[in-house]
Structure formats: C-alpha cells, structure tokens
Amino acid sequence: MSEPVSRIARSLESATPFVAPEALERQGFQIHLRLGANESAFGASPAAIEAMSRAATVTHWYNDPESWELREAVGAREQVPPETVVVGPGIDGLLSLICRVVLDPGSSVVTTKGSYPTFTYAARGVGAVVHEVPYSAEKVDLGGLAEAARNYGARLVYVANPDNPSGSWQCAEELAKLRAELPSDTLLVLDEAYREYAPGPGTRTPLASTIRLRTFSKAHGMAGARIGYALAEPWFSVQADKIRMHFEVNSIAQAGALASVEDPEWVKSVASRTAEGVKVVHGLCESLGLGSLDTHTNFVLVDLGSPARANRMLREMLELGVFLRKPGLPPLDRYVRVTVGLPDQMSEFGDILRRWIESGARE
C-alpha cells in the first residue's frame, strides 16, 4: 500500500528543528542546568501562576475561541483596537498561520540564513520557496533582505528583532527604512520575541503591511503554556479566522497571559535581572579570555574561536549536565549560545566553564 502523503510533505527532508532537553535525557544525559532554549529562568508572574491555577479548575469548559479578554487587554496596552490583535499558540504557531494565510505553493519568501528557523520550516511546509540572505558582520542585513525581496517578488520577509541567534537589534528608523524599500505587496513579519529585553520603548506606530509578533514565552516566563499574539492590520484577522484552529489557545494559557499583561512590573523586573545576568556572562567570558557578542536578548553568544571547538564545548557541557545550544551555520557557528539563568545557576555555570577551560579543553 502506498502512503497517502502530500507532494509537499514528500518533497521535504525529515527534520527535528529543536532537540529538547527531555529528548537528551531520554538518550541518557542528566541535565541539571537548562541554559539552552532562551526561556526565562525567573518564571511567570505570581499573579499569572495564580490565574493559571484558578483556570485549571474549570478546564471542563471550552476556552474562549476568540481570546477576547486578552485581546482587549493587549489592545489597551498597545493602543490598538482588539480586532488587530490575533492570539495564537506562541510565535511558532502564528508563523505557521501567517504562512497558511499568505502563501501559495511556489510563493517566494525571504529570511536571514541561520536566523530563527521556524519561519523557514513553516514556509516550506506550505510549499513556498525560501530565499536566504547571509548575516552581514554578524547582524541581520536589512538592505540585503530588501534587495532579495524585490528580486524574488517575495510575499513575506521575516526579520527577528532582536534576532536569535545573533542577538543583534535594529531601531525603529532602520525598520521603517526596510519597510519603505520593500514592494508594497510584500508583508514584513517582525518577530519581536525578545522585545522586552531591547532598548527603548519600541515603536507604537503600526507600520503598514507589517505584522509584529510577541510572545509570553520569554520575559513573561510562560514558554510551556504556548501563547503569543500578532499585531496586524484588520484584514489579517479576517482571513486568519477562515483557516485558524479556533480552540488551539487553551484557557489556562489565556488566563495566565491576561494576568501577566496586567502585571507589567513583573516583566520589567525580569528584564532588569536578565540584563544583570547578561553582564555576568560577558564578565565571565572576559575573565576566561573568551570573546562574546553584544546582545539585546536574554542570551549571549560566547566565542570559542572555531566551529570545531564550539561543537566540542557543547558536547562536553552536555556530558557535564549543562544544556546549551549553538548556531549551526557560518558566520556564527564558532559561538555557543548561553541563556541567562538565575544568579546561582550563572555562578555554577561559571565554575563549570572555568574548569573546562583550565583543563586545557580550549586547546
């Protein structure tokens, strides 16, 4: 019997974009320091935890498929109508939704080679053709993205800002310039997963033909709850309602996200404690003679000098119970990415890394 598989699925190679610490434990590694997935070690706001606990008692009811209370609360904070807020199961889920709303098989999209992979994954999943622009000086190349979008007639251009894994960030003026250089029928997708860690208040002015994506997975500390939102022009919500999974954002996540939006002090304190942690990692690198890249996120890229040494460090750290990740492609593949943890986790990691370096593993 032949397997009933679509042409698109058949054309793709099998891939596991993210190997989770749970999978590594199933392989026999014992992980006691999770510093690999850019989650917030500071956890969710106590108000969000309480709201989620309360919501857990009524999970026999279906959730609100319109996430209306959350959209109103986000709209009020962002000063936009709730109709322009689309809630989804994290940015990853929203990227998949955007691709399904906007792309046809064969459509072109443009992204940065080696940037956060879910966009590429989602675009290929609907049969789109992905054009990748290399980083320029370890930063997203906005001019290069605009040129590629014009050359290929791209329907979507993806920019993570701040970017993962480079940690680089572009200001509102640079993004407005990018938007102006794109064809008017190209939609700009701004993935702002790390927005809360970036400088300044961010732009409130909605750019035309632009979707901004936000998540509760990072500074809000709710990665496992799977919830995020898009800020988009009204047409997107109208079209998305035709094809989205209406009940996919569960009631516990909705309740936690609402409480977290209403507790901005928590997110601010997470951002400032994270900035302290970033300084600790930079200081550690300096004391060990390792370079590190500036960042506007909750992680730091540590320079191991060569891809081989970086791969070796990643493997040996895993054997020592430390879960890290690293960029797989040049020019960033000589770096290992360290997510900021709690102060005692940072000092434990510092001790482990120091011993690793002193044991000559650097050679």
Ligand X SMILES: Cc1ncc(COP(=O)(O)O)c(C=O)c1O
- Angstrom distance (rounded) from CA 150 to CA 140: 17
Backbone angles phi, psi at 215, to 5 degrees: -135, 155
Backbone angles phi, psi at 112, to 5 degrees: -95, 130
Judged by CB under 6 A, which of 109, 187, 191, 278 binds ligand X?
Answer: 191
Burial class (CB in 10 A: 0-12, 13-18, 19+), 147: middle
Residue 38 interacts with ligand X (CB under 6 A): yes or no: yes
| Minimum distance, C-beta of residue 185 to ligand X, in the bound complex (Å) | 24
Judged by CB under 6 A, which of 78, 92, 196, 333 binds ligand X?
Answer: 92
| Secondary structure (DSSP) of 318-331 | HHTTEE-B---STT
Residue 47 interacts with ligand X (CB under 6 A): yes or no: no
Residue 112 interacts with ligand X (CB under 6 A): yes or no: no
Given the rule CB under 6 A, which of 84-92, 100-108, 269-277, 283-291 is the region that contacts ligand X? 84-92
51: three-class secondary structure by DSSP: helix
Long-range contacts of 237-244 (CB under 8 A, 24+ apart): 237/83, 237/84, 237/85, 237/86, 239/101, 240/86, 240/97, 240/101, 243/97, 243/100, 243/101, 244/88, 244/97
| Minimum distance, C-beta of residue 194 to ligand X, in the bound complex (Å) | 7
Judged by CB under 6 A, which of 101, 145, 193, 322 binds ligand X?
Answer: 193
Binding mask 224-263 for ligand X (x = CB under 6 A): ----x-----------------------------------
Residue 280 interacts with ligand X (CB under 6 A): yes or no: no
List of residues 6+ apart from 281 with CB closer than 8 A? 292, 300, 302, 338, 340, 346
Given the rule CB under 6 A, which of 131-139, 215-223, 232-240, 249-257 is the region that contacts ligand X? 215-223
Residues 312 and 2: beta-carbon distance below 8 Å:
no
Given the rule CB under 6 A, which of 65-73, 85-93, 282-290, 333-341 is the region that contacts ligand X? 85-93
Amino acid making up residue 339: T
- Angstrom distance (rounded) from CA 104 to CA 24: 36
Backbone angles phi, psi at 302, to 5 degrees: -105, 130
| Minimum distance, C-beta of residue 289 to ligand X, in the bound complex (Å) | 28
The dihedral through the CA atoms of 340, 201, 217, 264 has a sign that is positive
Looking at the Cβ atoms of 217 and 345, the one nearer to ligand X is: 217
| Minimum distance, C-beta of residue 258 to ligand X, in the bound complex (Å) | 16
Given the rule CB under 6 A, which of 62-70, 89-97, 285-293, 344-352 is the region that contacts ligand X? 89-97
DSSP letter at 182?
Answer: S
Judged by CB under 6 A, which of 35, 70, 87, 90 binds ligand X?
Answer: 90
Looking at the Cβ atoms of 39 and 356, the one nearer to ligand X is: 39
Judged by CB under 6 A, which of 41, 97, 160, 304 binds ligand X?
Answer: 160
- Angstrom distance (rounded) from CA 341 to CA 207: 34
Looking at the Cβ atoms of 141 and 316, the one nearer to ligand X is: 141
Looking at the Cβ atoms of 148 and 190, the one nearer to ligand X is: 190
| Minimum distance, C-beta of residue 93 to ligand X, in the bound complex (Å) | 7
Given the rule CB under 6 A, which of 90-98, 254-262, 280-288, 309-317 is the region that contacts ligand X? 90-98
152 to each of 52, 106, 111, 131, 209, how far by Cα in Å?
Answer: 45, 11, 12, 8, 18
Contacts with ligand X by CB under 6 A lie at: 38, 90-92, 116, 160, 164, 191, 193, 215, 217, 223, 228
